[in-house]
A and B are shown apart, each in its own frame.
Chain A
Amino acid sequence: MAASTILRAAFGYLFLVLIVRVAGRRPGRQLTPFEFVLIFYLGGLTLTGMVGTETSLTNAICQILTIALCHYALAFLRFRSDAVARVLDGVPLILMEGQGWRKTTMSQMRIEDDDVMNVAREQGIRDLSGIRMAVLETFGAINVTPKANENRD
């Protein structure tokens, strides 16, 4: 039934957006949740229960169009509304600033000081005392701002 295949495709897309968003950000330069969902979903579409027994080209095209439409709608809402953008992308989180580590943020995001130091070393900062601020970005990367008189190699 055409309506059920369209609904399955839309549900599958939105469900994966939720899953990837809830699964959370991890340190490291990685795909954004949006990109991950698209690649994961489109790649696995033919092998999942979203297709069911309907393996026709018509079904595949209609489901891909449905996913594209859902993606466009979410991107539009994200652009128009800060609240939607926060829900879909999250917000940047400060991991370390002048006074010290943000312990709650670090534990909630399952990030250790070693993860921050790895990034700091890439920028030539020798130790933690050379870091002015460390921020976990919405796309999963950790950005380190060095102190003005930082300890650099």
Chain B
Amino acid sequence: MSTRTIKPGRIESLLAGVLNVGTWLASVAIFAGLVLSLFKRTPFPTGAQVITAGIGLFILLPILRVIVMLTIFLKERDYKFAAATAVVLLIIFAGFAIGILSK
């Protein structure tokens, strides 16, 4: 099988960048939310809402990572791995669906 990869290490450094930036953004949001929640009377947004946004970012981050991988595999015409990646993405969405249905 011929390899049609873009430069070796490209995927890795792209994913590393996504995860790093995402971790920072989510951590800063949670920190800001915790600080906000120290004050009793805050207008919108409340501390808890900002914390929830940070937590939501953390949960979205791995999903974003999978989407980035899917895009790369499709670009490389690496359909076998693109299919595996799509399956992972569908299973994660199914998790959300189960959560909503079993609420």
Chain B binds chain A: no
Binding site for A on B (CB under 8 A): none
Binding site for B on A (CB under 8 A): none
